[in-house]
Structure 1
Amino acid sequence: MFFYLSKIFWAPAQPLSVILLLIAVGLVLSIMGRRRLALVVQGLAGLTVLLVGFTSLGSVLIQPLENRFPRLAAPDQISSIIVLGGATQSRIGGARGVTELNAAGDRMTAALVLARRYPDAPLIFSGGIGTIISEGETEAASARRFFLEQGIPPERLVLEDQARNTDENAQLTAGLIAERHGPAILVTSAFHMPRSVGLFRKMGVDVVPWPVDYRSTGREGFGFDIANPVLNLEVTGIAVREWIGLLAYRWSGKIDEVLPGP
């Protein structure tokens, strides 16, 4: 139920949907003759476009998440390497029989580096189909193709293909490593690390954060940024979704604090 509610909520809550909703409300108010109120609503729509597309708001919002867990020196011994899904475009890859990586592809390439550093550690990938309408192959299937193509022996791969969100990643992966001793390295996007660590801690799993896929330098201040409004919109959307996810997970008791830290 939590999975479906999160997907339904995010559809109208994402920045682009908010902008379109404000525009639609403004048009309706204008048709109804409420022109002064319509101008206010349309002005809010324009202001939102300006903030999310032409300023560094997204970077400012995402920085506290990305800076929360700095990458530390790799431990000498680990029990396993855990990689969370979210780095593949499985619908496209499954249709074409190839592995398509998205902007979070660092999760996969970092896993390869760690797999070579720890040749005896199993490589655990967690990811099913994270959409309400299931289509295409699971992320685990895409990951299997990718890792085999990169020379990882199949016997090293442990694939969990049922998780649809981060909560299920933690729950289902915890069972796979219950009998293993020592810390596991957790690989996911830096902005996603606080929520992920909080969930794994709640499951009693000792993880070493290995953040990748940074979307900011970590030092941006707020200001105008007109170079790439599409990228600004994307980063803002990611940051807003992650903050909402943290609040929702804390409210539901899935994590013990709003912003888990080291």
Structure 2
Amino acid sequence: MDFYLINAIKAIILPPGNVFLLFLASYFLVKYKANIARRFLLASCIFFYLMSMPLVSKTLIRSLEDYPPLTQSQVALKNAQAIVILGGGRSENPEYGTQNPFDVSASTLQRLRYGAFLHSQTGLPILLSGGKIKSKDIPEGKLMAKSLKRDFKITAQWQENRGRNTAENAINSREILTAENIHSIFLVTTAWHMARAVDIFEQQGFKVIPAPTDFKGLQSTRFSFYNFVPSGDAIENNYIALREFIGRAWYFIRY
């Protein structure tokens, strides 16, 4: 229920849905309230420009990336017992010639790559966490295990294949790792997602060592002409940032 509710909310208040609603309101108001219609139209144009501006996207994403990258000396000093890698989606990859065309997404692959690096530095066992939304889908944890073995020659110690969101990932991971007397973990996820993930895993009793990857907000936000030129990447990153703000607000209320 949470999954469908939050996706319905996102469709309404995130771009391009919110911009479309403003345009739609302008269209219906133009015959009766022309002044208000013009204001709606102007607001939608301004908002769309802001959402396509690199300066805005870099600022928003940077505000979400609360945890810096781990240094190798920090990795060596941390007293973790396992590495937990969270899934970040799936994609269609029929080019591999397998019966099932789905594989891990680019975001998930980034997380797996860094998790594999941490494993090479520490030798710690890996738990892969990711479930499925549709009953017919292969759990994301299984896709991650396949990629980890195929691409990095590493076998995961455990798979958590039931979690549909970060909260369920944490709850189910606790069940698996508590049975192994593991309470201290490196937690691997995308940098902008890390703060929410840390909070929910700590609620489950874990001592969490944040191991963020795939940073998007490290680029300079200094004055530059290109920071004001609309771009597709900026639209995507602004969408990601606003979606994460909604996710944090929802988790604050829900959990």
- For 2:52 and 2:87, the matched residues in 1 are separated by 27
**Deviating more after overlay: 193-202 vs 47-56:** 47-56
Residues 228 and 48 (structure 1 numbering): CA distance in 2 closer, same or farther, change over 3 Å? closer
Residues 170 and 29 (structure 1 numbering): CA distance in 2 closer, same or farther, change over 3 Å? same
Query: What is the CA-CA distance between 1:219 and the residue it aligns to?
Result: 4.6
Residues 110 and 43 (structure 1 numbering): CA distance in 2 closer, same or farther, change over 3 Å? same
Contact 1:107 1:212 in 2 (8 A): yes
Q: Which secondary structure state, in structure 2, belongs to the residue aligned with residue 44 of structure 1? A: helix
- For 1:248 and 1:54, the matched residues in 2 are separated by 26
Residues 171 and 222 (structure 1 numbering): CA distance in 2 closer, same or farther, change over 3 Å? farther
| Aligned positions of 1:163-202 closer than 5 A | 163-178=163-178, 179-181=180-182, 183-202=184-203
Q: Which secondary structure state, in structure 2, belongs to the residue aligned with residue 177 of structure 1? A: helix
Describe the superposition over 1:220-257 as per-residue Cα deviations: whole angstroms up to 9, x where unpaired.
Answer: 258763556111011111111111211221123x2xxx
TM-score by length of 2: 0.86
The equivalent of 1:239 in structure 2 is 241
| Aligned positions of 1:119-134 closer than 5 A | 119=123, 121-129=124-132, 131=133
| Aligned positions of 1:105-254 closer than 5 A | 105-119=109-123, 121-129=124-132, 131=133, 136-154=137-155, 156-178=156-178, 179-181=180-182, 183-217=184-218, 219-220=220-221, 225=227, 229-252=231-254, 254=255
Q: How many residues align?
A: 247
- For 2:24 and 2:93, the matched residues in 1 are separated by 31
Residues 91 and 6 (structure 1 numbering): CA distance in 2 closer, same or farther, change over 3 Å? farther
The equivalent of 1:258 in structure 2 is none
| Aligned positions of 1:10-29 closer than 5 A | 10-29=10-29
**Deviating more after overlay: 90-99 vs 32-41:** 90-99
Contact 1:90 1:139 in 2 (8 A): no
TM-score by length of 1: 0.84
| Aligned positions of 1:15-94 closer than 5 A | 15-30=15-30, 32-66=31-65, 68-72=66-70, 73-76=74-77, 77-89=79-91
RMSD (CA atoms) = 2.5
**Deviating more after overlay: 98-107 vs 14-23:** 98-107
- For 2:181 and 2:153, the matched residues in 1 are separated by 20
Question: Which structure carries more helix by proportion?
Answer: 2
**Deviating more after overlay: 198-207 vs 238-247:** 238-247
State the identity %: 25
Gaps of 5+ in 1: 255-262
Gaps of 5+ in 2: none
